Amino acid sequence: GAVVSQHPSRVICKSGTSVKIECRSLDFQATTMFWYRQFPKKSLMLMATSNEGSKATYEQGVEKDKFLINHASLTLSTLTVTSAHPEDSSFYICSARGDRAYEQYFGPGTRLTVT
Amino acid sequence: DAKTTQPPSMDCAEGRAANLPCNHSTISGNEYVYWYRQIHSQGPQYIIHGLKNNETNEMASLIITEDRKSSTLILPHATLRDTAVYYCIPRGGNEKLTFGTGTRLTIIP
């Protein structure tokens, strides 16, 4: 399958700071990218969907001003957690989909710990 | 989105076939059945998908009942590396992938 990378894989930051997570599709053009969040022992929860060059569509209950998503190119999307708090500590996973809707691939995830 | 019901956990002996069931009785006509798995602390991995015919690839086989209300994912010769949470997800067209609670499959040596 196609490869999706995320960087960093782990990050620890202090409360009140902002953290940027990058998601790249390495061998295909991702017209749509998705950001998920996963708490321990829970399932993945979709946070937002973004199409290249458009504003992201956020799921109900997800603060768009806190979780800034940029999908500036067909191979890169970023998620910025602004003014992070300990409750934002989670496993963040991106996913990319190309022209063929049935092909959707996931990154390895980024574990964020806010102290 | 169609709702799914999967057993919360299953065990399978190494080398045996693992059969993971999924009920999706409210699936609509244009929704495919997708299967993904998530190994601990990794992103989900695509396994297979199908509409109404049975499907097979290098990873698994997917058996869909004639009425499409349920399906079974078959891992023919389970290995320890197949220990993961398996998700059955009905999805149509360009819809989002919505994850349920899945089945935690443990392969026993």
Distance CA A49, CA B5 (A): 25
Q: B27-39, pLDDT tens digit by residue? A: 999 899 999 999 9
Q: B9-27, pLDDT tens digit by residue? A: 999 999 999 999 999 999 9
Whole-number pLDDT of residue B2: 66
A106 interfacial to chain B (CB closer than 8 Å):
yes
Band (A1; pLDDT cuts 50, 70, 90): low
Whole-number pLDDT of residue A72: 82
Is the per-residue pLDDT at A102 higher than 80? no
Mean pLDDT of A30-59: 93
Whole-number pLDDT of residue B22: 98
Give the 3-state secondary structure percentages of chain A, helix then strand then coil, rounded to 5: 5, 50, 45
The Cα-based distances of A20 to A9, A38, A67, A80, B16 in angstroms read: 12, 17, 10, 4, 44
Identify the contact set of chain B against chain A, taking CB-CB distances under 8 A.
32, 34, 36, 38, 41-46, 49, 87, 93-94, 96-102
Q: Are the C-beta atoms of residues A21 and A110 closer than 8 Å to each other?
A: yes
Phi-psi region of B10 (alpha: psi -120 to 50; beta: other; left: phi over 0): beta
Cis bond upstream, residue B8 (ω within 30): no
- Residues whose CB falls within 8 Å of the CB of residue B99, separated by 6 or more in sequence, listed in order: A36, A43, A44, A45, B36, B44, B87, B89
Distance from the A103 Cα atom to the nearest Cα atom in chain B, whole angstroms: 8
Whole-number pLDDT of residue A106: 95
Q: Provide the percentage of residues in chain A whose pLDDT is more than 90.
A: 78
Is the per-residue pLDDT at B101 higher than 90? yes
Only one residue has tokens 């991106």, namely: A94
β-bridge partners, B61? B56, B74
Q: B39-93, pLDDT tens digit by residue? A: 999 999 999 999 999 999 999 999 999 999 999 999 999 999 999 999 999 998 7
Q: Are the C-beta atoms of residues A63 and A8 closer than 8 Å to each other?
A: no
Whole-number pLDDT of residue B1: 60
Mean pLDDT of A83-94: 97
- The amino acid present at A21, given as its one-letter code, is I
Q: Which residues of B touch A105 (CB under 8 A)?
A: 46
Whole-number pLDDT of residue A53: 82
Q: Are the C-beta atoms of residues A69 and A88 closer than 8 Å to each other?
A: no
Mean pLDDT of A25-39: 92
Q: Which residues of B touch A91 (CB under 8 A)?
A: 41
Is the per-residue pLDDT at A92 higher than 90? yes
- The amino acid present at B99, given as its one-letter code, is F
Band (A100; pLDDT cuts 50, 70, 90): confident
Picking from B81, B40, B31, B42, the residue whose alpha carbon sits closest to that of residue B59 is B81
